[in-house]
């Protein structure tokens, strides 16, 4: 049964959720702007916790600025959350993915992008960004055969009114950031399409789509079982990918506290040079998510706006990154310092894509934490990030100071 046939079987409407957002000055323009009728155009990583705040307070400032055209980059690390980023496994080789980076392949430069959803302190939310969000949502809607869809925003006018009443009741003004538009969405028949400020787009199905009996799409599915499911999804949803070389990425392999090994499915475009593949791996992918019954619950399209490229920056080698790590120049949410270089078990070259101002490459080190070994033999691997950009292009190198913010 192909994708559109599956879609035709669905009925009902997924429940929408409300997020508080969008600035006051923006809101004054919204009543006649945001609720347009637009023609349609075109698992979750299991770990000890989500990335918390920056663990570095005492930066080493860069006294010498580079002399070419590339701007100096500011490092921040402010993904709010609880706990720390850590993975449990019996051995680090169980933690896998299809990241195309190879330490034996020489990469001298990589692009850095300005996060389109980043808003400076005194800045207003860009109308262009909201329009991009709407166009993305309507484009995805068209892929599912939805034309002339009404694109709505969160928070709605009713939500804004409720927020204002709550603040008025306690005698306070509504903070401007509460008015920022965090999401646009299209809701029609049995599908809801939601696009956030990074253009991450989620397609929710209601009811969820039941897969043929031969497929095992449960949270405890094995690598081989999920690979088979992923091949099925490639056949069913080619029209969603829009990729030249869709490549299956069964990633994860870490364990839950109960000892269940967990894998997730995504597809990325493995087209072009190793640099292009690395960009596609982080910025052009589609992931599939199940419910407790093994049905397809929702699809996520990760394809942010990369039009604001800051420049192509020289990067350091793995050996240079290890020296930075040994000297304490790293970012982490692990509540303890690096236990020693002998505990560094694995390294990858990645892009961090959180709330930072710049999306830039980092070396991601997996470090065994001997103080957190479990009685059942599971080891805990904490994640430590080292900026991959050459020092002359950074405003400072972070320095670990044993502070932990949860």
pLDDT given at position 242: 84
Q: What is the DSSP letter of 343?
A: G
393: number of CA atoms within 13 Å, CB side? 23
| CA–CA gap between residue 178 and residue 297 (Å, rounded) | 30
CA distances from 328 to 39, 59, 365 (A): 53, 11, 13
CA distances from 272 to 174, 221, 240, 280, 295 (A): 48, 31, 20, 9, 34
Span 252-307, pLDDT tens digits: 999 998 889 999 999 999 999 999 999 999 999 999 999 999 999 999 999 999 99
Which tokens sit at 236? 């069913």
Whether residue 29 is predicted with pLDDT greater than 70 in this model: the reply is no
pLDDT higher at 27 or 114 = 114
Span 33-63, pLDDT tens digits: 333 323 333 333 333 333 333 333 344 445 4
| Confidence band of 79 (pLDDT split at 50, 70, 90) | low
Decide: 254 and 223 in contact? Cβ < 8 Å.
no
371: number of CA atoms within 13 Å, CB side? 9
Q: Dihedral of CA 109/114/115/118: which sign?
A: positive
pLDDT given at position 117: 82
pTM of the full predicted structure? 0.80
Ordered by start, the domain boundaries in the chain are 3-43+121-302, 60-119+315-397
Q: Return the percentage of the chain with pLDDT > 90, whole number.
A: 62
pLDDT higher at 99 or 129 = 99
Which tokens sit at 199? 């253009």
CA torsion angle 336 93 76 64 (round to 10): 100
- In this structure, the number of other CB atoms found within 10 A of the CB of residue 246 comes to 20
Span 179-236, pLDDT tens digits: 888 899 999 889 999 999 889 999 999 999 999 999 999 999 999 999 999 999 999 9
Print burial letters for 378-392: b (CB count within 10 Å at least 16), e (below 16).
bbbbbbbbbbbbebe
């Amino acid at each position: 049964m192909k994708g559109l046939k599956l879609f035709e079987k669905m009925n009902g409407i997924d429940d929408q959720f409300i997020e508080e957002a969008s600035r006051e000055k923006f809101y004054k323009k919204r009543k006649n702007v945001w609720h347009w009728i637009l023609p349609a155009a075109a698992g979750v990583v299991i770990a000890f916790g989500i990335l918390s705040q920056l663990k570095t307070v005492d930066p080493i400032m860069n006294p010498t600025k580079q002399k070419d055209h590339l701007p100096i980059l500011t490092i921040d690390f402010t993904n709010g959350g609880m706990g720390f980023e850590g993975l449990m496994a019996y051995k680090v080789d169980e933690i896998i993915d299809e990241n195309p980076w190879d330490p034996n392949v020489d990469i001298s430069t990589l692009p850095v992008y300005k996060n389109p959803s980043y808003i400076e302190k005194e800045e207003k939310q860009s109308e262009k960004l909201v329009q991009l969000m709407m166009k993305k949502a309507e484009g995805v809607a068209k892929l599912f055969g939805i034309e002339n869809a009404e694109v709505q925003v969160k928070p709605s006018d009713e939500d804004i009114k409720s927020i204002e009443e709550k603040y008025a009741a306690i005698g306070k003004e509504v903070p401007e950031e509460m008015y920022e538009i965090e999401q646009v969405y299209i809701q029609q028949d049995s599908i809801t399409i939601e696009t956030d400020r990074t253009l991450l787009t989620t397609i929710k199905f209601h009811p969820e789509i039941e897969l043929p009996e031969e497929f095992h799409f449960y949270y405890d599915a094995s690598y081989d079982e999920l690979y088979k499911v992923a091949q099925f999804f490639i056949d069913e949803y080619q029209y969603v990918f829009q990729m030249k070389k869709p490549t299956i990425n069964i990633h994860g392999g870490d364990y839950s506290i109960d000892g269940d090994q967990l894998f997730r499915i995504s597809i990325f475009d493995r087209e072009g040079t190793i640099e292009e593949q690395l960009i596609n791996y982080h910025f052009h992918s589609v992931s599939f998510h199940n419910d407790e019954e093994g049905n397809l619950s929702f699809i996520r399209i990760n394809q942010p706006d990369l039009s604001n490229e800051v420049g192509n920056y020289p990067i350091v080698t793995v050996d240079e990154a290890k020296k930075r790590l040994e000297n304490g120049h790293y970012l982490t949410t692990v509540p303890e310092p690096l236990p020693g270089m002998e505990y560094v078990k694995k390294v990858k070259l990645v892009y961090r894509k959180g709330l930072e101002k710049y999306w830039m490459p980092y070396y991601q080190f997996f470090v065994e934490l001997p103080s957190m070994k479990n009685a059942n033999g599971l080891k805990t691997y904490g994640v430590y990030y080292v900026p991959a950009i050459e020092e002359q292009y950074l405003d400072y190198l972070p320095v670990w100071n044993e502070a932990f913010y949860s």
